[in-house]
Amino acid sequence: MDRPVFRRHFLHPRFWPLWLGLGLLWLVVQLPYAVLLRLGRGLGALMYRVAGARRRIAARNLELCFPQMPSAERERLLRENFASTGIAFFEMAISWWWPRERLARLAHIEGLEHLRQAQAEGQGVILMALHFTTLEIGAALLGQQHTIDGMYREHDNPLFDYIQRAGRERHNRDATAIERDDVRGMLKVLRAGRAIWYAPDQDYGPKQSIFVPLFGIPAATVTATTKFARLGRARVLPFTQERLADGSGYRLVIHPPLHGFPAEDEAADCLLINQWIERVVSVCPTQYLWAHRRFKTRPPGAPKLYD
């Protein structure tokens, strides 16, 4: 995709309310990081009260994935998850607008040698991530250290799309934004020895998916990770991120390549990925995006899991 370009029609009065909101948000995120964390928790508490549909989806997912957990503990986890989602709103703005030096102080990165080794060997990398609430700021922090291409879906509002892309790409001046459905584009960058952020942990429907257990539930799991790794001749490096409880920033870990991936059997690959997702999410469940209907697609004849 071409670089984001400012258009004169962004000054049209129909965009003024969005400009006002973005301006206010820019002012707010100049506050100290500790203050923004508290504001985010407050926003999350408000969202918990007013976003009833999302709250019910998240609560149902927690019930499905942690059935042995006491209900009071699941309720605490749910409230903490909404707090994390509220913080993520300000993290998005932080990653777009904070000076690079100020932002870099939040990063605690491990495993960069795995990326650099692949690059030195001319090997493409699928940076296999998950949809944590910290994904926006995590990608920005890693992008300051290593060029990361990303899958991208254009926003419906052209001004917001411009602001979002400009904010993201300032960390990766030579990065490539690839349309989510552009398979050829993704394979091209992988074969060129580049690294691309990719998350296989959501329900994209029955097409190009197979049913593999996730937390003991048959889950429609995309086989694209296997196809991209095979056709792009790429390594798969799991990537995790976590907002640190002491307020010092974020721990980002690039793990060693998945051993024996891809295998001959796509189902075995998908099971390996889902088992990894279970382990990672279980370590930091409060920061995962539970409000997604991960088990919406069901095997033929199976009952629905969401109202």
- Cβ atoms 178, 196 nearer than 8 A: yes
77-110 burial, b if ≥16 CB within 10 A, otherwise e? bbbebbbbbbbbbbbbbbbbbbeeeebbebbebe
Predicted pLDDT at 168: 81
Predicted pLDDT at 172: 72
Q: How far apart are CA 80 and CA 31, in angstroms?
A: 23
Predicted pLDDT at 222: 95
What pLDDT, in 10s, does the model give residues 191-223? 999 999 999 999 999 988 999 999 999 999 999
Ranges of residues in the chain with a pLDDT under 50 are none
The angle at the Cα of 222, spanning 265 to 140, to the nearest 5 degrees, equals 120
Predicted pLDDT at 165: 86
Predicted pLDDT at 173: 65
Predicted pLDDT at 65: 98
Q: Pairing state of beta strands 209-214 and 107-110?
A: unpaired
Predicted pLDDT at 156: 87
- One-letter identity of residue 138: G
Predicted pLDDT at 208: 86
